[in-house]
């Protein structure tokens, strides 16, 4: 079951007193169907986790199930997750692989598994090469927890015993939220400007079409037929009528095509305006 709210536990493990804060995991970041839940999990992870871990954390355990298909998208999500704690967080992070299927590493070692997956290798490299695995069925005589504590202790000593301050995490989170809100406001203003431009363009097209409709018409040319014979006048009149009918048909077809094109353009622009 995925963690929704941060929880804190105290315990003495292998002679060491530990405080463990369990926060919403990075799998919330990849939720496609529930963006509101993802946002709430992010806030809970940073704010809730930092509040429960005062004055700060010596280390972060980044849990990655090996049963999970881990590729470029997952790597991006995990990196975004860690950086919610600030860029310094990478120096305090150890990747903890969980292996619950005993067949998962039957034909390979954990080291080979990491090396063969370039995204896992890149993630481990960002954590200074630190990683460990917890097996659902450990080998006889193997103390996985003791080995994990040794690696955590080595990481803490490598950082000079310094903490990842909770107040610093909260401050950086607040700055990120402000920057995100600023970008969202800028995007909203840009969409509004684009919508106004499209509406103005649509209005201009409609005005131009109305003006073209008013200017339509044909000038009549008077021909003096007084000096022609009656039969010749009749023939020329028929010729002119056929010519005018042909031109009129071509004009109508052209006007129809023009009106159809303009109608399609207006319809497209109206639809774009509605969807903005």
Confidence class of residue 254 from pLDDT cuts 50, 70 and 90? very low
Q: What is the pLDDT of residue 136?
A: 75
Residue range 7-32: mean pLDDT, rounded: 79
The pTM for the full model equals 0.61
Give me the pLDDT at residue 218, please.
Answer: 47
Residue with structure tokens 């460990």? 132
Work out the percent of the chain whose per-residue pLDDT is above 90. Answer: 25
Query: Can you name the residues that pair with 7 across neighbouring β-strands?
Result: 22
What is the pLDDT at residue 105?
61
Radius of gyration of the chain (CA): 37
The more confident residue out of 108 and 5 is 5
- For residue 37, the model assigns a pLDDT of 54
Residues 6 or more apart whose Cβ sits within 8 Å of residue 238: none
Average pLDDT over residues 3-8: 83
State yes or no: cis peptide before 59, omega within 30 of 0.
no
Angle at 48 between CA 183 and CA 94, to 5 degrees: 90
Q: For strands 60-65 and 93-99, give the pairing.
A: parallel
Residue range 85-135, pLDDT digits in tens: 888 899 999 999 988 765 656 556 788 888 889 999 999 999 999 999 888
Which residues does residue 16 pair with via DSSP β-bridges, in sequence order? 13
Per-range mean pLDDT, top range of 72-76, 78-82, 159-163, 173-177: 159-163
pLDDT of residue 259: 45
pLDDT at residue 176, as a whole number: 77
What span, in angstroms and rounded, lies between the C-alpha atoms of 254 and 175?
A: 60
Is residue 228 scored above 90 in pLDDT?
Answer: no
238 confidence band (pLDDT: 50, 70, 90): low
């Amino acid at each position: 079951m995925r963690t929704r709210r941060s929880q804190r536990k105290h315990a003495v493990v292998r002679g060491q007193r530990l405080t463990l804060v369990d926060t919403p995991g990075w799998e919330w970041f990849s939720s496609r169907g529930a963006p509101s839940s993802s946002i709430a999990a992010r806030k809970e992870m940073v704010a809730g986790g930092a509040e429960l871990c005062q004055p700060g954390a010596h280390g972060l355990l980044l849990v990655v199930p090996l049963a999970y298909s881990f590729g470029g998208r997952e790597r991006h999500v995990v990196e975004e997750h860690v950086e919610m704690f600030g860029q310094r967080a990478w120096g305090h992070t150890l990747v903890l692989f969980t292996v619950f299927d005993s067949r998962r590493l039957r034909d390979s070692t954990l080291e080979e598994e990491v090396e063969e997956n370039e995204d896992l290798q890149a993630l481990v490299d960002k954590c200074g090469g630190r990683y460990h695995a917890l097996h659902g069925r450990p080998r006889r005589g193997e103390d996985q927890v003791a080995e994990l504590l040794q690696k955590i202790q080595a990481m803490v000593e490598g950082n000079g015993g310094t903490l990842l301050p909770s107040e610093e995490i909260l401050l950086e989170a607040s700055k990120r939220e402000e920057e995100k809100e600023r970008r969202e406001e800028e995007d909203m203003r840009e969409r509004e400007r684009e919508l106004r431009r499209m509406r103005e363009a649509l209005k201009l097209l409609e005005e131009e079409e109305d003006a073209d409709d008013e200017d339509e018409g044909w000038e009549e040319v008077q021909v003096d037929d007084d000096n022609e014979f009656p039969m010749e006048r009749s023939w020329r009149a028929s010729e002119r009528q056929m010519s005018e009918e042909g031109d009129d048909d071509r004009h109508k077809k052209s006007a129809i095509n023009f009106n159809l094109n303009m109608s399609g353009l207006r319809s497209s622009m109206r639809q774009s305006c509605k969807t903005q």
